[in-house]
A and B are shown apart, each in its own frame.
Chain A
């Protein structure tokens, strides 16, 4: 029995690793440094230009106000005289207010001046938008390049990872890293590249302008900054575990649903429908409860921020108005300030939300980097050798192998296989029967000893060279989403249609392909709805057939294939095996008995090796297995089993 191995579970993300990951994430941008520099300059220019806007609009308002005030004052007097008269009439406040603008008594609004100011503002805004536009497009380009390269790196990495990595990690988890995590990185980089720095800069530039206009009001504004920051952080901290809870609940819901759908017929046929529904409802309610909390927590950030911003706005308006009344500030300045206060809260809220998104990006990056950092298979020798002519002689020379250091699986295996002969590997499930094939094809490397192919150590050859000599038929029929013809020609992409059909004919594929409406151009889908398991298995046999290898590695578990087809496969494999060395994970007695060498595996390694009669004489494991096979035939009073298989 193989119980789930706790050591292989993905490690929880430690917070201590985050800074390094962040740096590496930035490192991805390094090749694009010039572009990043340009986009930063553009972004900053855009921010600076648009930050001046409210100030200019404020000046325009002052001009308008001056016009309004001027009209209220008698014409022909100077500004001082007019203000003095207001004081004299007891309108002290009004006098102070008017003193903040450049009022000319008797003169109305200076439309020429206002128009000039507004044209400048317009030009500024135009330039600012242009800068932002270029910055955004540049950022999009950089992000796409970075993600494109990251995908290529991941793909290249997958090709260099040893098979053991794939065997240790569930396919779903690996897939999630190379798709979901990379997508997540792309989305977040897209949203944040340039933004963060630009937002910070826009906060700073507005701050400077506000201090210039009125240090007091700036101070009032600033007071709201730590409040919003703390509030955002507080809410985010509360939201985080809620999200974790929601994802965990969704995970167990998915697991339940998957299991119930997978066992659909059983669930219904065993009257479990009600229980399945009840279980589902429990999970579903848990997702609901966690989801409401998580959504509310994150949904509360915005109203909270808006509230703080509103407080800032009110404070600025009230304090500003009082300052105008005391003559310390012009009306236009207050209005500019109010505009700033509105725009000021925006980048702060954004920085807060970006910080949240970045956390998720760092988590994704960490998982992607962990994949990129995984140990690779030993590189091929720089000066690889190759056997002069591959005849199919295989020699195991004192080969040892263990998956984990403590538990040897193969110890000191020596075995010479003459070209064209058959090696049957027998043993119970879990004994490691596939290991021999794994070592032969260099999916795994022996921990000791050598494997020689026609006298050449396979470790000195390139892996591709070694594998090119082999044909492989596995128990699970892996086919890719393409046509039947493409799948048969998988190992020889250049094969002609005639060659494909010939291979198909030799392996009983042709017969059923002809019953399909599109024949060889039938596209096999993921779910295998247009080809049965047996038919898919046949296609993999045809695929191996077409590559015409010197050596075969076959898993004979053809339980999915009916007996008549199986006979045809056996016949096809028989002619395929002719003149080729074969390693067969054997289930059929006939294969085993006729094999030139039988390797008997038991959990813990290779128990015995030899020919059928030698092993029977030994009276060891094989003899026991064989006896088990004989024994029930004696008392087979009722329906008998399968005399033909081990």
Chain B
């Protein structure tokens, strides 16, 4: 996963990476040249007793050091640019893929999880790339370079260095492979602890109300102890690593001096080479230690890469239109034998839905939770695609519509009236950026929100917090309706979006809305009979099927499901009530309620 992700995403930066490698190579050669020059300083200068040679070599070393610092700075710049660009590209790819998703796909991952994947997981990979460029790439170059230079100094003694590289690699291999499963385990335990804490903080009222503080503390305590055990293990393994590596290095240092003495004694090698070899040793060590640090962050980055790939590898369950047609043949809505089932589900959510809504008609859909009302709207909005049958808008299958055009034709108000951070105006203009202030005020007037917006200190410019949390539920719903009105669609889908309004507002809103909706195709979802009974037609859904279809009166007469719902809501008598007068509107009594309940099966 990690490798695939990096390979694909680094391809556009191949040239930069090549340049980076080149810079690192020069930098390393310079770093390696220093001990060599140091050896020359001793052999040519000290042993032969030439002070001039010492000074000359010193000057060369200075130049080499300068080259090194310039190259490594440039490499650091390229590395950070490339890693950050990679992060930016992956984030962008993930974000765009999520926007491609249908509601079902988003729901499968969950918004918080998608957010983590887009931001935090990409960050993990990005950090790994930064350190990989800075450390992992130079390390093998450094090792190889050291060996080459060592070979030039003295071949038999170089075997010491070869052995060192082999031993170090073996030591690290063993230590890391023992450590990384524990490291991964520690990460999962940390996440688990975080989840428990999240539950305890968000559910503090419930925990305290049910007097479960002690139990929660025990739950936390257990996880904490478990985590403690694992991190202790990991901590000790890390603590073991460095002394062991240092020992290996030092042992080889001693060996180099001992075998070097033999070589010098036999006249095969000069004294200066000894200090050069010791220099190479520490260069090799440094690079190996650095690589270790990076490898410690690999398990984490690997998990992150997997999570990112999971998003990128998920094909949107609603594919883009085949032909991208832009039909403009009308605004009727038609579902014929429509069925929808989730992949692998035994039972469909909706089946055999036949429904035609003509322009100018208002149809209401009534049904209990889980009866498939919202799913039906989502089929029109292409949040899902039918698994059988068809949904047509203006006579053309929605799957053939150009999505943008479809969404311009169909306006919807969701059940949860979500607003975005910004101002009242920016939220209203969400679907129609070109709307003028007058248009905004008119829409606000229609939805009975003019008064409260006018009362706000900044009017249309009043700030709205993320999710609209600084507004009441009723205010949010009204703004959400206005937002859709401003888009001037020809088909309206209202998903139970009047529920938070008080009666008076609701009635006034509906009255003002009526002329706005004239001529449009309107589908309204509702929970209450009272809210739907004046619709042209009412569709009653139960367990994904249409069990009733007709006017209020007809359904009250013929549809048992509708009767049951009507009864359960203890609706007041359907005949009109006198405008004024002392008689209470709602004349149902406790007895009536008991009767209604008793009649239920």
| Chain B residue contacts of A280, Cβ below 8 A | 92, 95
Q: List 9 A-B contacts (CB under 8 A).
A: A67-B264, A111-B265, A264-B101, A284-B91, A303-B69, A493-B215, A543-B210, A632-B508, A643-B530
Query: Roughly how many angstroms separate A285 CA and B85 CA in the complex, as a whole number?
Result: 9
- CB of A635 within 8 A of CB of B579, answer yes
CA distance A533 to B236 in the complex (A): 46
Q: How far, in whole Å, are A529 and B113 apart by their CA atoms in the complex?
A: 13
* Residue A109 CB within 8 A of the other chain: yes
CB-contact partner of B257 in A57, A178, A270, A645, under 8 A:
A57
A261-B585 in contact (CB<8A): no
Knowing A265-B381, A321-B42, A478-B203, the reply to whether A303 touches B72 (Cβ < 8 A) is yes
**B597:A331 contact, CB within 8 angstroms:** no
Asked if residues A314 and B527 are in contact (CB atoms below 8 Å), the reply is no
Chain B residues with CB under 8 Å of A143's CB are: 235
Docked-complex contact B76 and A303, CB < 8 angstroms: yes
Question: In the complex, are the beta carbons of B205 and A474 less than 8 A apart?
Answer: yes
**Hey, what's the 0/1 contact readout for A632-645 against B, CB within 8 Å counting as 1?**
11111111111111
Q: How far is the CB of A254 from chain B (nearest CB, A)?
A: 5
Is B503 a contact partner of A68 (Cβ separation < 8 A)? no
**For residues 190 through 240 of chain B, which have their beta carbon under 8 Å from a beta carbon of chain A?**
190, 193-195, 197-206, 208-213, 215-217, 220-221, 224-225, 228, 231-232, 235-236, 238-240
Whether the pair A258, B115 counts as a contact (CB closer than 8 A) is yes
A202 in contact (CB, < 8 A):
no
A287–B135 Cα gap in the complex (Å)? 23
Contacts of A635 in B (CB 8 A): 507, 511, 579
Stretch of B353-361, B389-397, B468-476 with 4 or more beta carbons under 8 angstroms from chain A: B468-476
Instruction: Tell me the A552-608 residues at the B interface (CB within 8 Å).
Output: 553, 559-565, 567, 571, 589-590, 594
- Residues 477-533 of A at the B interface (beta carbon under 8 Å): 478, 480-481, 490-491, 493, 512, 526-527, 529, 532
Pairwise interchain contact B73-A565, C-beta atoms closer than 8 A: no
Bound-state Cα–Cα, A63 to B264, Å: 11
Q: Does B441 contact A (CB under 8 A)?
A: no
A175 touches B265 (CB 8 A): no
Would you call A403 an interface residue if the criterion is a C-beta within 8 Å of the partner chain's C-beta atoms?
A: no
Chain A residues within 8 Å of B504, by CB: 628-629, 631-632
* B99 in the interface (beta carbon within 8 A): yes
Partner of A118, one of B193, B258, B414: B258
User: Is the pair B118, A68 in contact by a Cβ cutoff of 8 Å?
Assistant: no
Chain A residue nearest to B473 in the complex (CB) = A429
Inter-chain contacts of B107 with A (CB < 8 A): 527, 529
Contact with A along B101-141 (1 / 0, CB 8 A): 10100111011111100110001001000100010000000
A178 — which chain B residues lie within 8 A by C-beta? 197, 201
**B-contact bits for A128-140, CB 8 A (1 contact / 0 none):** 1110110111011
Asked if B224 and A151 make an inter-chain contact with CB atoms under 8 angstroms apart, the answer reads yes
Report the minimal beta-carbon distance from A29 to chain B, rounded to whole angstroms.
Answer: 15
Q: Known contacts A272-B431, A639-B535; is A125 also within 8 Å of B254 by CB?
A: yes
Q: Which residues of B contact A321 (CB under 8 A)?
A: 41-42, 45-46, 54
* CB-defined contacts of B369 to chain A, threshold 8 Å: 532, 534-535, 560-562, 565
Residues in A whose Cβ lies below 8 Å from that of B260? 64
Interface residue ranges of A367-419 to B (CB < 8 Å)? none
Report yes or no: A318 in contact with B55, Cβ–Cβ below 8 A: yes
Knowing A132-B242, A155-B220, A322-B51, the reply to whether A314 touches B470 (Cβ < 8 A) is no
Name A410-439 residues within 8 Å CB distance of B.
428-430
Cα distance A565–B247 in the bound complex, in angstroms: 72
Residues of A within 8 A of B466 (CB): 255, 258-259
Is B88 an interface residue, CB under 8 A from the partner? Answer: yes
- By the criterion CB–CB under 8 Å, are A179 and B194 in contact? yes
On whether the beta carbons of B49 and A91 are closer than 8 Å, the reply is yes
Please, how many angstroms separate the alpha-carbon atoms of A338 and B201 in the complex? 57
Q: Using Cβ atoms and an 8 Å threshold, which residues of chain A touch B407?
A: 268-271
Whether a CB of chain B sits under 8 angstroms from the CB of A205 is no
A253 an interface residue at 8 Å Cβ cutoff?
yes
Q: Does B275 contact A (CB under 8 A)?
A: yes
At the interface, yes or no: B253 with Cβ under 8 Å from chain A?
Answer: yes
Contact A567 B568, beta carbon cutoff 8 Å = yes
If A121-B254, A271-B431 touch, does A481 touch B199 (CB 8 Å cutoff)?
Answer: yes
Q: Are A136 and B243 in contact (CB under 8 A)?
A: yes
In the complex, the answer to whether B507 meets A430 with C-beta atoms within 8 Å is no
By the criterion CB–CB under 8 Å, are A262 and B503 in contact? Answer: no
Residues of chain B within 8 A (CB-CB) of A284 are 88, 91-92, 95
- Select one of A296, A314, A480 contacting B62, CB under 8 A: A314
**Smallest CB gap from A183: residue in B:** B190
Partner of B498, one of A174, A527, A534, A641: A641
B383/A259 in contact, CB under 8 A: no
Nearest residue (CB) in A for B221 is A152
On whether the beta carbons of B261 and A144 are closer than 8 Å, the reply is no
The docked-state distance in angstroms from the alpha carbon of A314 to that of B55 is 10
A314-B65, A638-B511 are known contacts; what are 15 more A-B pairs with Cβ within 8 Å? Answer: A125-B246, A125-B254, A255-B466, A257-B119, A280-B92, A300-B76, A310-B69, A317-B41, A318-B57, A318-B61, A335-B274, A429-B472, A638-B510, A643-B530, A644-B528
Bound complex: CA A159 to CA B208 (Å): 9
Answer yes or no: A126 CB below 8 A from chain B CBs. yes
Inter-chain contacts of B228 with A (CB < 8 A): 144, 147-148
Task: Take A53-B250, A629-B585 as given contacts and tell me if A166 and B46 are in contact as well, using a CB distance cutoff of 8 Å.
Answer: no
Check: A306 CB closer than 8 A to any chain B CB: yes
Give the chain A neighbours of B92 by CB distance below 8 A.
280-281, 284
Q: B570 on the interface (CB 8 Å rule)?
A: yes
B408 within 8 A of A: yes
Contact of A60 with B by CB under 8 A: yes
Once bound together, how far apart are the Cα atoms of A64 and B265, in whole Å?
A: 8
B172 within 8 A of A: no
Cβ-closest chain B residue relative to A169? B201
Query: Complex Cα distance A52/B258, Å?
Result: 18
On whether the beta carbons of A129 and B246 are closer than 8 Å, the reply is yes
- Does any Cβ of B come within 8 Å of A233's Cβ? no
Closest to A329 in B: B46
Does any Cβ of A come within 8 Å of B430's Cβ?
yes
- What residues of chain A lie closer than 8 Å to B199, measured between beta carbons? 478, 480-481
From residue 332 to 388 of chain A, which have CB atoms closer than 8 A to chain B?
A: 334-335, 338-339, 342-343
B141 → chain A closest CB, angstroms: 15
Query: Does B430 contact A633, Cβ atoms closer than 8 Å?
Result: no
**Closest CB of chain A to B194's CB: distance in Å?**
5
Which residues of B (50-109) have their CB < 8 Å from a CB of A?
Answer: 50-51, 54-55, 57-58, 61-62, 65-66, 68-69, 72-73, 76-77, 79-81, 83-85, 87-88, 91-92, 95-96, 98-99, 101, 103, 106-108
Distance between Cα atoms of A563 and B532 in the complex (Å): 14
Which chain A residues lie closer than 8 Å to B274 at the CB level? 61, 64, 335
A470 at interface (Cβ–Cβ under 8 A)?
yes
CB–CB A97/B49 < 8 A? yes
The chain A residue with its CB closest to the CB of B60 is A314
Within 8 A of B (CB), among A101-158: 108-109, 111, 114-115, 118, 121-122, 125-126, 128-130, 132-133, 135-137, 139-141, 143-144, 147-148, 151-152, 155-156, 158
Of B123, B210, B421, B585, chain A has the most CB atoms within 10 Å of the CB of B210
CB distance from B481 to the nearest CB of A (A): 13
Chain B residue contacts of A57, Cβ below 8 A:
253-254, 257, 278
Interface 1/0s, chain A 443-486, versus B by CB < 8 A? Answer: 10000000000000000000110011011101000101100000
A159 to B593, CA, bound (A): 44
Q: Write the B462-506 contact mask toward A (1 if CB under 8 angstroms, else 0).
A: 010111011111110000000100010000000000111111101
B108 — which chain A residues lie within 8 A by C-beta?
529
> Is there an interface contact between A126 and B41, defined as CB atoms closer than 8 Å?
no
Contacts of B96 in A (CB 8 A): 277
Instruction: Give the residue among A335, A468, A480, A645 with the most B Cβ atoms within 10 A.
Output: A480
Residues of B with C-beta under 8 A to A273: 99
Is B257 a contact partner of A491 (Cβ separation < 8 A)? no
Q: Which residues of A contact B580 (CB under 8 A)?
A: 634
Contact A122 B527 (CB under 8 A): no
